[in-house]
Structure 1
Amino acid sequence: MHCELCLTEHPHDVACGGEPWTQVYLSTGDAEAPPVDLTGQTLGSYRLVRRLGAGGMGTVYQGEQTRIGARVAVKVLHPHLGRDESLRARFYAEARTVNVVGHPNIVHIFDINEAPGGLHYFVMEYLEGVPMSHLPRPMAPGPLVTLLAQACDALDAAHRCGVVHRDLKPDNLFVVRHAGEPPTLRVLDFGVAKARRPHPGEDETAAGIVLGTPAYMAPEQSAGQPVDGRADIYALAVTAYYLSTGQLPFERGQMVELALGTGPVGAPPPHLLTPGIPPALSEVLLRALSRRCEDRYATALEFKEALLLAAAQPLADALASETPPPRSHTPVPSLAWLDTEGPATEPNALTPPLTWVARVRRRSGTGDVEVLCTELSRGGLFMCCADPFPRLFNRLEFTLLLAGELVECAGEVVRHVDAAQAQTWGMLSTGVGVQFINPSARLCELIRRVQPHRLTTPASTLMRAEVVL
């Protein structure tokens, strides 16, 4: 299913497709023109095969390049809006904005044109998958944080270019799925994005236009005040809250109070609504939902790091106090996959490492702990967790999903990476290095199968491991 572009069929409805959105966008004072279906027509070298959805500014079609048959998505400005020069400028600004940012987690736009009859359109990559609004709720924290981290990378790239999205919501976060490949995320619909202007008062927003989706809008945005990247962080936190609990953090009546009031309006902590959510993750989301933008995370990357650490916290809480088995004082073994000659090169913040989710069994037998892992190799892996760490030489038993297959693993903690070391080596998280103990032939085979994919896939792809125990 392709949902670019995440346009709703009924943008004024309070509930559409089961999700409580209200999209407010355009008021020109004219009666709305009847919808125009262009299915079957050809715009330039693109034939419109089927209609995918429509929103306030335009309609999106699945298209086909007539010469080579390549599938594309074509977004066409509503004909009755194309007569307005300012609205045409805003429509084209979306394409320019996306291409200025140019990030692998943002949908790619590669053509823009005008067809006879005053039809304005641009052409995007065609994505196979579903928007996050179509994923089952509540989502498990591990997979959710994996996708949110990619959204943070895309937002950081946009914010560095001076672009604020201003309409983030589950419908505009698209999970791309291809057979045999891990899911990846694309941020869609920059139609209401706005670049920060070098001169005060210079703004393309026309009078009479209210942009955004109220349930996801930061208080300062709802109040019509200037916004920066922290408004996007707020919207992403609302999205995370909704997907992790199945409900929005604030009722409709609280939205006005958030925008205009000054007193605290607190959302219920997510872990009280969904017991599987780590309390640390609740704290991260509630901070990102702060009424005052100064109280939120300053950047999308700071928000991302907090999300990753919060998702990893249960490992430290569950394992830090456990006693390791008797062991002679053997030096910590050297692992090629962790050792470096001096500080590692600082990684590109926009290309995080591949990440897996593992379930680690407690030694007490009282349940499993979900933890994010990186640096998978035939020797072992790195488990992201917060200090206090499980002790050196502690044996861990856990399950991974590699190449679509569940595989049981045993490992031994052989290295601690504290905050200072993580900063020196350019790592995104503190944690522990785990060396495999007697890895099975099947585990080695699955790792060999994953490694070529890891070498040829853009590093911004985060691999998700569904672990079912």
Structure 2
Amino acid sequence: MLCELCLSDHPEDVLCENVHWTQASRSTQEVEPPPVDLTGQTLGHYRLMRRLGAGGMGTVYLAEQTRIGARVAVKVLHPHLAQDESLCARFYAEARTVNVVGHPHIVHIFDISEAPGGIHYFVMEYLEGVPLSHLPRPVDAAQLVPLLAQACDALDAAHRCGVVHRDLKPDNLFVVRHATEPPSLRVLDFGVAKAHRPDNEDVTAAGIVLGTPAYMAPEQWAGQPVDGRADIYALAVTAYYVATGQLPFERGQMAELALASGPVGPLPPHVLVPSIPPALSEVLLRALARRCEDRYATALEFKAALLAAMAPHRHAVETLPIGDTPVPSPSLAILEAEAAANEPSDVTPPLTWMARVHRRRPGASEVEVRCTELSKGGLFLCCSEPFPRLFTRLDFTLLLAGEEVECAGEVVRHVDSVQARAWGMSPGVGVQFINPSARLRELIHRVNPHRAGTPPAAPPEAHL
């Protein structure tokens, strides 16, 4: 905790990127059994040392191979799902799918088994680094594109094996840190993947997970057959989000088409972040085309376009601040629901921005926090309790469209951790702007035009 402002040094990320949209969650009121923590137990030759994360299908643990002491990651199917043969089949299908593809930029799974008591699990390589979702945004394009190119290589290998991932997003792209080499990338979580089999069996038919709405291609939303171009679309959404700090379509493209009152189309990324080359903007917008035939035909074609767009900028240092970034460093980016317990399951990630709050205590450093609900009247600062008192003045620097703008505001609302859990959001404070400048109003209209004319400050309860 921090004195004076009482804002956390490590603000909670409020994005809903880990949430899967499931038919079951929308059609039943059944409450799932609480997760079972197997920390300390031994499965086969693997002792589970620490829980890393949990999702709809299973829990991931850091484990130690008892014979040689090697560290691995073990994914365990939730016990309450183990009685369903179709779900067990889908759980094991993930391991088989990954090994069928076998690519350096896809996480390696090297053991699969069942322990006494009907505990199903598979064992993966242990990776040091962070998910792409945990890097500070926006990520410089010169640093991002090499990682995207590696993702394209992995997708090309999968697509050539007849496998479509269908749930690409920042949490499923893991940036591995190296001591002497540039960071590299692994594609994770093929639990939603569809493999085209000779007998036309859809291996996901037994499962309930369809994908993550904000990253799903329009044809996937519509329940139509998908191919590798759906993964290209999802990777483009991911690239847009990581490079600009906001999604091209806040609710997903199909939702925008259905709900928007005017034309639907994302702003070119270089409009939001001027340092992005316009050529890269064109590449991403093509990959985001509504019709799959208007996108790049293959992942390698998409890769070639990405690299060509950055060719004049290759002098930039291709390093990422992984080691110095105050973010969690889990061993595996298969954190399917680490944040989902505090987030709604049927919405897409809200738009987010960054602000540096200036503390008044002499010698105190600035505090960087994440912001949501930006409008012409104010915004919501995601921070930890205890909060600044109501009507406290806050001075902060807001990063909008690649530009820093100085702001002042007054705290007008508190959302504590109990309310945040109930409303599926991050705790924090609503702040009303004090005498916003013309430049601030102009930037808000540019980056968030659909809310540029709305009333200010703390989000209404209906949105929380």
Deviation at 1:208, TM superposition (A): 7.6
Code of the residue aligned with 1:77 in structure 2: it is L
In the alignment, is the contact (CA less than 8 A) between 1:215 and 1:255 conserved in 2? no
> Which of 18, 27, 32 does residue 14 from structure 2 map onto?
18
**1-side partners of 2:263 and 2:198: how far apart?**
34
**2-side partners of 1:181 and 1:225: how far apart?**
42
Partner residue of 1:302?
A: 301
The correspondence of residues 8-407 of structure 1 with structure 2, limited to 5 A, is 17-21=13-17, 22-25=19-22, 27=24, 29=28, 30-200=30-200, 202-206=201-205, 209-252=208-251, 254-258=253-257, 265-312=264-311, 314=312, 357-359=314-316
**2-side partners of 1:182 and 1:215: how far apart?**
29
Deviation at 1:138, TM superposition (A): 0.8
Deviant stretches of 4+, over 6 Å = none
Deviation at 1:129, TM superposition (A): 0.3
**2-side partners of 1:149 and 1:279: how far apart?**
18
**2-side partners of 1:191 and 1:204: how far apart?**
10
Deviation at 1:253, TM superposition (A): 7.1
Q: 1:221 to 1:254 in 2, by over 3 A?
A: closer
In the alignment, is the contact (CA less than 8 A) between 1:223 and 1:259 conserved in 2? no
Identity of aligned residues (%): 80
Q: 1:255 to 1:159 in 2, by over 3 A?
A: same
**1-side partners of 2:54 and 2:85: how far apart?**
21
Residues 56-112 of structure 1, C-alpha deviation per residue, up to 9 Å, x if partnerless? 000000000011100000000000001000000000000000000000000000000
Deviation at 1:199, TM superposition (A): 3.9
Code of the residue aligned with 1:358 in structure 2: it is H
Moved more, 153-162 or 206-215: 206-215
Residues 230-288 of structure 1, C-alpha deviation per residue, up to 9 Å, x if partnerless? 00000000000001100000122754244899x96311000000000011100000000
SS in 2 for 1:302: helix
SS in 1 for 2:210: coil
Deviation at 1:23, TM superposition (A): 1.9
In the alignment, is the contact (CA less than 8 A) between 2:167 and 2:192 conserved in 1? yes
SS in 2 for 1:358: coil
Structure 1 unaligned runs (5+)?
1-15, 316-356, 360-369, 373-399, 402-469
SS in 1 for 2:80: coil
SS in 2 for 1:96: helix
The higher-RCO structure (CA 8 Å, 6+ apart) is: 2
Residues 185-216 of structure 1, C-alpha deviation per residue, up to 9 Å, x if partnerless? 0000001111013344x223346824110010
In the alignment, is the contact (CA less than 8 A) between 1:98 and 1:109 conserved in 2? yes
**2-side partners of 1:307 and 1:18: how far apart?**
29
**2-side partners of 1:184 and 1:98: how far apart?**
18
Code of the residue aligned with 2:140 in structure 1: it is A
Deviation at 1:224, TM superposition (A): 1.1
Q: 1:32 to 1:271 in 2, by over 3 A?
A: same
Using the size of structure 1 for normalisation, the TM-score is: 0.62
**1-side partners of 2:23 and 2:69: how far apart?**
36
**1-side partners of 2:207 and 2:43: how far apart?**
31
In the alignment, is the contact (CA less than 8 A) between 2:62 and 2:72 conserved in 1? yes
**1-side partners of 2:224 and 2:258: how far apart?**
10
Code of the residue aligned with 1:18 in structure 2: it is V
Using the size of structure 2 for normalisation, the TM-score is: 0.62
Q: 1:31 to 1:206 in 2, by over 3 A?
A: farther
**2-side partners of 1:253 and 1:94: how far apart?**
26
